Amino acid sequence: MLQGPAVNAYVFAFFFAASFLITGKRPILTFSTRVLLVVVLAAAFGYVLSEHTGWHIIFGAAALILNLTFIGFALIDYLNWHKGKALR
């Protein structure tokens, strides 16, 4: 299991990537996908903060489902963005 500085580096990379996708000047993701990313981050926070409660498994399942949905939406947005870029 990872500890200390390695976890800090992964958390930094995760939040940097998320902030880039949410607030980029030339957004690859549509607005609805960016909102979904914020919801995924909220579910992840809920999962971490509810470690010793009954909500932990619910937040975990929700975060997993939302993450898979986000990946699908992001892939569609990226393909559409790439297709639009190629047409210019």
* Contact yes or no for 41/57 (Cβ under 8 A): no
Say if residue 10's pLDDT is above 80: no
Residue 35 or 10, more confident: 35
pLDDT reported for residue 88: 62
Range of the structural domain that residue 76 is part of: 5-87
pLDDT reported for residue 9: 72
Q: Cα–Cα–Cα angle for 6, 11, 16, nearest 5°?
A: 125
pLDDT tens string 51-81: 889 998 999 899 899 989 999 999 999 899 8
Can you tell me the distance from the alpha carbon of 14 to that of 46, in angstroms, rounded to the nearest whole number? 16
* Contact yes or no for 63/40 (Cβ under 8 A): yes
Please report which residue ranges of the chain form alpha helices under DSSP H: 5-23, 31-49, 56-87
Tell me how many domains the chain contains: 1
